Amino acid sequence: MVWNEDQRALRAAIEGLGDVLSKEHVERDAVAGFPGEGWARLRETGLFGLPFDPAWGGLGQDLLTTMYVLEGLGYACRDGGLSFSVSTHMVSTGVPLQRFGSPAIKDRYLRRVCDGSVIGAHAITEPEGGSDVMAMRTSAVLDGDAYVLNGAKSFVSNGPVAGVFVIYARTGRRGSPAAITALLVDRDTPGLTVGRPVAKMGLRTSPLCELFFDDCRVPAANVVGSPGAGFLIMDHVMKWEILCSFIVNVGEMQHRLERCAGYARTRTQFGRPIGAYQSIANKIVEMKIATETARKWLYDTAAKLRDGENVTVDIAISKLLASEGNVTSALAAVQVFGGYGYTAEYGLEKDLRNAVGGTIYSGTSDIQRQRIASMIGL
Active site residues: 241
Q: Degrees (nearest 5) of the Cα angle 339, 199, 216?
A: 160
- SS3 at position 279: helix
Tell me, what amino acid is at 323?
A: S
Q: Degrees (nearest 5) of the Cα angle 309, 241, 8?
A: 85
- SS3 at position 148: strand
Task: Give the distance from CA 47 to its chain's centroid.
Answer: 14
Question: Is the separation of the CB atoms in 93 and 166 below 8 Å?
Answer: yes
Residue whose C-alpha is closest to residue 124's, from 298, 241, 220, 206: 241
Question: Is the separation of the CB atoms in 83 and 351 below 8 Å?
Answer: no
Tell me, what amino acid is at 112?
A: R
Q: How far apart are CA 66 and CA 53, in angstroms?
A: 13
- SS3 at position 143: strand
Task: Give the distance from CA 371 to its chain's centroid.
Answer: 20
The number of CA neighbours under 13 Å toward the Cβ of 166 is 32
Beta bridge partners of 269: 272
**CA quadruple 38, 42, 44, 48: dihedral positive or negative?**
negative
Residue whose C-alpha is closest to residue 213's, from 192, 196, 195: 192
